């Protein structure tokens, strides 16, 4: 059996020993159209989980629901053992979910430095010192050279690095990345990949990744495959077979 | 030469009043995109606050009565900001992203505020206060019951008439026993006058023209407010949050910025600036419940001409409109056409304050045909978003 069917996937996600994020029976609608159907999903502490699937199956909807931008009709979302379904996006960010959305969403008419400083908003406590840790520049050296440029003037790849760096400024416990390599040249993809791997290794945080780029998908510990708004397969990524890749990745 | 200086000074001083009045709107409308038709009434509230503060300080004698204006500025800012926050929390917040509904609702609020100023009296305050205390007190007590959701509509249906009846009876009884002293409105429909403190009377003589101190004071006040806003938006944490939320609300929320709090603070600052503008307006002439109406169109013009969302645009637009109105209104160009009596008579025809306004608005209409996004339109790839 190359991949497990949905019932088995529920068991495997339910079997996570130490869940950072635990989603059960999630149903999300846009108006009357049913987007996510009975989704069960989990991210273990310190692991990198990849969500794959073709366009329009509900991957971004899933991330938006986790972030609180969409309200589920039914289902529970637990973050570190606490239900967050009723919390607003800013409260979720302050609990420790760092979000890097599709399309980067860098604030265009703020400088790079201001964009990075906004990342500190997710940290609890007031009066923190307003400076950017050197670690950020080690991960993304390109940002250091252009701190006073406007966010909207950067290229796509630079914006992506800025968006990830910004999310890291808030020291999240779960980093949510939505297609970080979309429309970005290969050399930058490798840089971003290396940075994400290094963050996991050094900080021990969890990462939830939506990705189409196979090389990046292979870095994850666990994968979930989505089809028509439901999880149809899951397993360790080392077991990710050519068959599944053919079926769920748009390559 | 002195004519030119005179024109420039008067133009700038008209522009300064316009800019001060428009500055709050540049934030509320320009940055937040909220069409607040009650902005003029916030200016009016600032003016009335100045009047009240003046009357409190007058009996205290010098030096208090000389410097009441500074206390009035602070009080006007606070009063207008509080009313602004109340407006945002109770009305505008439910209408974000729906400009037409916002326009109608805030216009309604502006009418309510005008009538409030006309009819506020001790009797009125007692009546409204009693109603609020009874009604909201009762709802607060009932909401502690476990079955509140079920009986909610019943509770409201019963408490509203009871509270109205008690409040009306009480205020009428009080009104009959204390007569006019209790029922006479504080401000009424007549205009009230604020007298400038002694050191603001008179003017600075330059050559054969005189620059009134009140005008100079307003110009200085405008500059201080501009610098203050610039500093607040660009150098403080809250300023950064405001700029972030106005550019990308969803992403700002995802970064952990409390967007509702930011909305309330932005609105408070915009409204507070309207209050300060009211203080300046009070120095220029008599203040009545219609004062706000006189300014609302001009302030929107300034913001639209300047380019929505650009403070620098508002500054330029206020200056331009101010100078243009003065030059046309004072017939400064007419004498240059002595050789052409026909042209001269045209300029003379428009040389009154109201006709100058006609010309300015006509020019604005023409200008917007060519630059619909104003003097300083937003540029770059973010414009469409």
Q: pLDDT for B117-156, tens place per residue? A: 998 888 888 888 999 998 888 888 888 888 777 888 888 8
Tell whether the model's pLDDT for residue B275 goes beyond 90.
yes
- The predicted model gives B246-266 an average pLDDT of 92
For A97, list phi and psi in degrees, rounded to 5: -105, 115
Length of chain A: 251
> For A3-7, A75-79, A87-91, B281-285, which range has the lowest pLDDT when averaged over its residues?
A3-7
- B interface test, pick of A66, A105, A167 with most B CB neighbours within 10 Å: A105
Q: Is residue A7 very low, low, confident or very high in pLDDT (cuts 50, 70, 90)?
A: very low
Q: Which residues contact B144 (CB under 8 A, 6 or more apart)?
A: none
Residue of A14 and B76 predicted with greater confidence: B76
For chain B, the distance separating the N- and C-terminal CA atoms, rounded to the nearest angstrom, is: 49
Q: Using a CB–CB cutoff of 8 Å, tell me whether B241 touches chain A.
A: yes
- List Cα–Cα distances, B182 to A22, B121, B126, B163, in angstroms: 65, 7, 10, 21
**DSSP label at residue B187:** S
pLDDT of residue A10: 40
Q: Is residue B382 very low, low, confident or very high in pLDDT (cuts 50, 70, 90)?
A: very low
Q: Evaluate whether A217 touches A240 at the Cβ level (below 8 Å).
A: yes
pLDDT for B330-343, tens place per residue?
877 777 777 888 88
**DSSP label at residue B196:** P
- The predicted model gives B151-172 an average pLDDT of 86
Contact B254 A108 (CB under 8 A): no
> For A152-166, B32-46, B135-149, B237-251, which range has the lowest pLDDT when averaged over its residues?
B135-149
pLDDT for A35-62, tens place per residue?
999 999 999 998 999 999 888 899 999 9
Check: complex ipTM more than 0.90: no
For A84, list phi and psi in degrees, rounded to 5: -115, 10
> For A115-119, B107-111, B371-375, which range has the lowest pLDDT when averaged over its residues?
B371-375
Chain A residues within an 8 Å CB radius of B254:
67, 69, 89-90, 93, 99, 101, 105
How would you classify the pairing of strands A230-236 and A33-44? unpaired
Q: Which helix (H) or strand (E) holds A230?
A: strand A230-236
Contact B252 A99 (CB under 8 A): no
Task: Calculate the average pLDDT of chain A.
Answer: 86
Q: Using a CB–CB cutoff of 8 Å, tell me whether A117 touches chain B.
A: yes
Beta strands in A66-108 (DSSP E): 74-79, 82-83, 97-100
Q: Using a CB–CB cutoff of 8 Å, tell me whether B382 touches chain A.
A: yes
Q: Evaluate whether A225 touches A53 at the Cβ level (below 8 Å).
A: yes
pLDDT of residue B383: 47
Q: Using a CB–CB cutoff of 8 Å, tell me whether B380 touches chain A.
A: yes
**Nearest CA of chain B to the CA of A43: how many Å?**
19
CA dist B125 and A99 (Å) reads 50
Contact B243 A94 (CB under 8 A): no
Chains A–B, number of C-beta pairs less than 8 Å apart: 74
Contact B382 A109 (CB under 8 A): yes
Q: Which fold has domain A6-248?
A: Rossmann fold (3.40.50)
Q: Is residue A129 very low, low, confident or very high in pLDDT (cuts 50, 70, 90)?
A: low
Residue B367's CB is within 10 A of a number of other CB atoms, namely 15
Q: Return the residue matching tokens 């306004």.
A: B357
């Amino acid at each position: 059996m190359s991949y497990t069917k949905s019932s088995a996937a529920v068991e495997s996600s339910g079997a996570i020993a130490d869940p950072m994020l635990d989603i059960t029976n999630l149903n999300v609608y846009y108006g009357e159209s049913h987007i996510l159907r009975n989704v069960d999903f989990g991210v273990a502490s310190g692991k990198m989980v990849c969500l794959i699937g073709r366009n329009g199956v509900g991957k971004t909807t899933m991330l938006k629901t986790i972030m609180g931008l969409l309200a589920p009709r039914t289902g529970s979302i637990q973050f570190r053992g606490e239900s967050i379904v009723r919390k607003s996006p800013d409260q979720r960010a302050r609990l420790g979910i760092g979000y890097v959305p599709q399309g980067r969403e860098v604030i265009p008419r703020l400088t790079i430095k201001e964009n990075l400083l906004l990342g500190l908003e997710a940290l609890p406590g007031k009066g923190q010192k307003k400076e950017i840790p050197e670690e950020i520049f080690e991960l993304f050296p390109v940002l250091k050279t252009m701190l006073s440029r406007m966010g909207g003037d950067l290229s796509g790849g630079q914006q992506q690095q800025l968006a990830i760096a910004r999310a890291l400024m808030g020291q999240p416990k779960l980093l949510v990345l939505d297609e970080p390599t979309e429309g970005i040249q290969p050399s930058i993809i490798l840089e971003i990949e290396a940075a994400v791997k290094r963050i996991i290794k050094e900080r021990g945080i969890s990462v939830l990744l939506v990705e189409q780029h196979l090389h990046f998908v292979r870095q994850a510990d666990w994968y979930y495959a989505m089809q028509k708004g439901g999880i149809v397969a899951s397993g360790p990524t080392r077991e990710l077979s050519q068959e599944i890749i053919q079926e769920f990745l748009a390559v | 030469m002195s004519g030119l200086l005179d024109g420039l000074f008067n133009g700038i001083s008209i522009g300064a009043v316009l800019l001060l009045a428009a500055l709050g709107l540049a934030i509320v409308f320009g940055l937040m995109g909220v069409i607040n038709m009650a902005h003029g009434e916030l200016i009016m509230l600032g003016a009335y606050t100045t009047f009240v503060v003046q009357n409190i300080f007058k009996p205290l004698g010098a030096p208090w009565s000389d410097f009441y204006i500074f206390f009035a500025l602070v009080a006007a800012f606070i009063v207008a900001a509080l009313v602004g926050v109340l407006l945002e929390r109770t009305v505008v917040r439910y209408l974000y992203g729906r400009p037409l509904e916002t326009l109608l609702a805030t216009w309604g609020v502006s009418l309510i505020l005008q009538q409030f100023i006309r009819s506020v009296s001790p009797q009125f305050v007692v009546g409204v206060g009693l109603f609020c205390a009874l009604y909201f007190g009762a709802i607060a007590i009932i909401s502690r019951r476990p079955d509140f959701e079920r009986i909610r509509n019943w509770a409201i249906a019963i408490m509203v008439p009871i509270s109205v009846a008690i409040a009306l009876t009480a205020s009428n009884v009080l009104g009959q026993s204390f007569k006019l002293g209790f029922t006479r409105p504080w401000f009424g429909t007549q205009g009230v006058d604020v007298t400038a403190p002694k050191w603001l009377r008179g003017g600075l003589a330059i050559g054969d023209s005189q620059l009134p101190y009140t005008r100079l004071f307003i110009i200085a006040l405008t500059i201080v407010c501009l610098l203050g806003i610039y500093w607040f938006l660009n150098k403080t944490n809250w300023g950064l949050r405001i700029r972030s939320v106005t550019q990308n609300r969803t992403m700002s929320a995802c970064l952990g910025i409390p967007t509702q709090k930011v909305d309330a603070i932005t609105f408070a600052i915009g409204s507070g600036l309207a209050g300060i503008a009211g203080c300046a307006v009070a120095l220029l002439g008599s203040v009545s419940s219609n004062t706000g109406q006189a300014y609302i169109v001009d302030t929107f013009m300034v913001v639209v001409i300047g380019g929505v969302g650009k403070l620098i645009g508002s500054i330029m637009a206020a200056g331009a409109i101010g100078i243009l109105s003065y030059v046309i209104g004072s017939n400064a160009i007419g004498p240059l056409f002595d050789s052409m009596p026909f042209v001269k008579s045209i300029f003379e025809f428009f040389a009154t304050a109201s006709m100058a306004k006609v010309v300015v608005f006509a020019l604005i209409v023409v200008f917007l045909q060519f630059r619909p996004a104003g003097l300083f339109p937003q540029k770059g790839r973010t414009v469409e978003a």
